[in-house]
Structure formats: structure tokens, C-alpha cells
Amino acid sequence: MKGGEVSVAIINYGVGNLLSIYTSLQKAGAKPRIVQDVREAESFDCVILPGVGAFKPAIRKLESEGEVMLRLLEEKPILGICLGMQLLYERSEEGCPPGEFIEGFGIFKGSVKKLPSVVKIPQMGWNTIKILRKDCPLLKNIKDGIYVYYANSYAALPSEETAATTSYGITFSALSWKENVFGTQFHPEKSGSWGLKMLRNFIEYAWG
């Protein structure tokens, strides 16, 4: 793999955790760069939508460059992490009155919902994944039942794009995949050697 030649745009749309994913991508052999404008990402090989943050301000910022963002989603390998994954769903109830939703990009089918009150919210720490789709490029040589790191209060229910699930009060989509677009509810950059392997898999996929 010539991963060192793969350029990765990390889009800064006002969320935290950028340095952590930047450092992990370097360890994975890529050339990451934090970009402030969606249009800058068009010149890169692949794109990261990072995140810990809130759905509404993040989707509003990205929608301000809607045509460019949609073009990226069609043409580039994209990995959404945590909030970045949630933005790829049809809708989210975060920050909305009961029964109302905010629309996302609709790459993955379904809704992002708050974790049930029977468990401690947010989910902070390690949990296991159950692999459903072994053909997912991110899961190449990844073992079923590995522990990954979470920091989330919301999650998407499993759908046809779900490649792996996690259970925490409910069973939710841990990793989703549709064509060139991937999403992880967990943080691969904080998930040790397995998370680093997934980032390398993403870079290999982007390299083609």
C-alpha cells in the first residue's frame, strides 16, 4: 500500500477531536490536513467528517456549501465519525421537540435517536461490535467482538446499510456503509490497534 500518498481532508465544521484523528491518520500512513471550507476538500483523495458536537449547527454549516458537499458524497471516499456519521442519516431528533427531526444528508436510511434513559447517558468508554457485513472494506481483517471507544448520547437504529452493531440499552448501528461512504458511531482514532487498522483500511480503499 502506498498510503503515504493518500491525502485526507478533515473538515472542520466546529466540532472537537480534530487533533486526535489527525494524529491517527498520520500513524495510519496518510497525509491529513484540517480544512476550514468544504470546497478545499475537493482536491483531496478522501474526506473525514469528524466529531464530537451537536447535529444542528454542524449540518447547517455543511449545508451552506450544499452543492459541493453533495458532490463530495458522490465522488470521494468519505468516513463520518460519531457526529459525522449521524449527519449522513436521513434525520436526527437531537435538539428537537418531541416528534420533530432535523434532516441530514440521507446517504444512510433511518433516524438518529437518543439512547434510552435506562442506561447512563452519554455512553463513554469501551463496548463491543457485532459484525454483520464482512465484505465492508473497513472491516477487512477485523475480528468480531472487538472493543471500540464510544462517546455518544445519540445513535441510529440498524438499517440495510449497517455493517456492524453495538448494544447499549438498544442495539444501534456501530458502522454503516454505502458504496463510497462509511460511518462509525465509535471513534476509531481512540480505539487502539483495531481502530488504527480500520483507518488503514479506509486509506487502502481510498488508494483503490
CB 20 within 8 A of CB 10: no
Task: Tell me the catalytic residues.
Answer: 82, 187, 189
Q: CA-CA distance, 174 to 146, in Å (whole number)?
A: 12
Q: CA-CA distance, 38 to 68, in Å (whole number)?
A: 7
Helices 18-27, 192-207: axis angle to 10 degrees equals 70
Q: How far is CA 131 from the centre of its chain?
A: 16
Question: Hey, what's the cell of 90?
Answer: 436521513
